Amino acid sequence: MSRIYIFTGKGGVGKSSVAAAHAYKSAKEGKKTLLVSTDMAHNLGDLFEHKLGKEAEEVLPNLSLYEIDPEYVMQNDFAYIVDYIGRLLSDAGGMSISDLGMIPGMEELFSLLKIADIYKEETYERIIVDCAPTGETLSLLKFPELLSWYMEKLFPIGKIGVRLLAPVSKAVFKVEMPNKTAMNDIEKIYLKLAELQELLKDRDVSSIRIVTTPEKMVVEETKRNYMYMNLYDFNVDGLYINRILPADIGNEFFDRWIVLQREYIDTLKECFSALPICEIPWYDEEVRGEAAIRRIADNVLADKEVFGKRIIKDRESFTQNEKGYQLEVFAPCADKADIDLYQASTDIVIKIGNFKRNIPLPNSLRSYNVTSAKLEDGRLRIQFEQEK
């Protein structure tokens, strides 16, 4: 069975370089490997000094590169979805398919759908994904929520409302409601996205690796990224700290930077203690060309098991205790002040900052109420007790 390794992180931290080194190592191990980039500002071709076309291309034995062009993929592979959306947009009134690019996350979304299709074809044993910077990728974690966001933007009263209100909508709301075919289309897209999300969350299939550098702003974003990934229960199973200055430069200016870096490396190690951490030195040249990529692969990855399945302890569990049940959610780096919690009829809703997650409650807990919640050791523990 093939596996997907997704490299994410803030802009410029070294995602492409680290992903390329993994792809290189993987190919050398004799595994058929695809290194694919979803970032619109592609640079795999530059990195490997090879001009790439619109399809995947083998550049070294066992190693193919693929810079996804979302526009091209939309037209060639997902014409039917584009067609659905086109119909939806015109139903919503006044919008056309050319407005699609304005919807946040759309390009990345089609790129990921394409990767899911490649995965299903089983051509490659390892698919290594070089992502766009965090900001854009994060929004994709919220697929279902994202879709409802689109729904609200396009059809202000939402799906259920549409179904019920369609016959009277024109008169009452003075807007054209999407027709039944369009609603079926929405459902099909929704299912496709749900399937993609399943694939990306499946621990047997996908690993998410975060790349970072030891500097304040990056560390902060890395922590947030990790927290949200865990909130949505994605399988983050590795951290890479890139651009670490060598300790023996012997220069006062750099000595200060080395001390600062040490501090941030310690913070990262604390926060990411659940994960294997890989440290990568700051080299005296850019990572460009096969020799530079091989350098990372040989220096840093050679003696590490970077492709094996890693079991990171359970991130979410319901356990019975003397008072009732406890739900434990892994929420590393979260700040108590940012957490909000509420109980809907069948879900518990956890909100951290701008992100919200609905965790469905098992049937047996529906008659229970949340009686306390604690954040300890990066774990949110929520106590449920039976209604008296």
Ligand X SMILES: Nc1ncnc2c1ncn2[C@@H]1O[C@H](COP(=O)(O)OP(=O)(O)OP(=O)(O)O)[C@@H](O)[C@H]1O
Binding site for ligand X (CB under 6 A): 9, 11-17, 39, 133, 242-243, 280, 282-283, 286-288
What does 11 bind: ligand X, Mg ion, none (CB cut-off 5 to 8 Å by kind)?
Answer: ligand X
What does 288 bind: Mg ion, ligand X, none (CB cut-off 5 to 8 Å by kind)?
Answer: ligand X
Residue recorded with tokens 């700290």: 241
Task: Tell me what percent of the chain is helix, strand and coil, each rounded to the nearest 5.
Answer: 45, 25, 30
What does 13 bind: Mg ion, ligand X, none (CB cut-off 5 to 8 Å by kind)?
Answer: ligand X
Stretch that binds Mg ion, among 7-15, 58-66, 111-119, 250-258 (CB under 5 A): 7-15
Query: Of 118 and 280, which has the nearer Cβ to ligand X?
Result: 280
CB 210 within 8 A of CB 239: yes
Q: Tell me which residues in 293-312 interact with Mg ion (CB under 5 A).
A: none
Interacting residues of 225 by C-beta distance below 8 A, sequence separation 6+: 8, 9, 10, 134, 138, 210
33-37 and 339-343: which strand pairing? unpaired
Query: Of 19 and 205, which has the nearer Cβ to ligand X?
Result: 19
Residues pairing with 141 in the sheet: none
365/368 Cα distance (integer angstroms): 5
Task: Give how many residues touch Mg ion by CB under 5 A.
Answer: 2
Beta strands (DSSP E) in the chain are: 3-8, 33-37, 57-60, 63-67, 126-130, 206-212, 236-244, 277-281, 316-321, 324-330, 339-343, 347-352, 355-360, 368-376, 379-386
Residue recorded with tokens 């369009």: 182
CB 177 within 8 A of CB 185: no
Q: How far is the CB of 222 from ligand X (least distance, A)?
A: 12
CB 323 within 8 A of CB 317: no
Find, among 35, 359, 3, 7, the residue nearest to 203 by Cα: 3
Query: Of 177 and 301, which has the nearer Cβ to ligand X?
Result: 301
- Residue 16 binds Mg ion, judged by CB under 5 A: yes
Stretch that binds Mg ion, among 11-19, 69-77, 313-321, 351-359 (CB under 5 A): 11-19
What does 112 bind: Mg ion, ligand X, none (CB cut-off 5 to 8 Å by kind)?
Answer: none
Query: Of 41 and 341, which has the nearer Cβ to Mg ion?
Result: 41
Rg, the chain, Cα only: 23
Q: How far is the CB of 130 from Mg ion (least distance, A)?
A: 6
Query: Of 26 and 38, which has the nearer Cβ to Mg ion?
Result: 38
Q: Which amino acid is at 175?
A: V
Q: How far is the CB of 282 from ligand X (least distance, A)?
A: 5
Q: How far is the CB of 140 from ligand X (least distance, A)?
A: 16
Stretch that binds Mg ion, among 10-18, 66-74, 181-189, 196-204 (CB under 5 A): 10-18
Q: How far is the CB of 264 from ligand X (least distance, A)?
A: 15
Q: How far is the CB of 70 from ligand X (least distance, A)?
A: 16
- Residue 324 backbone zone (phi > 0: left; psi -120 to 50: alpha; other: beta): left
Stretch that binds Mg ion, among 13-21, 44-52, 72-80, 220-228 (CB under 5 A): 13-21
Q: Which residues bind Mg ion (CB under 5 A)?
A: 15-16
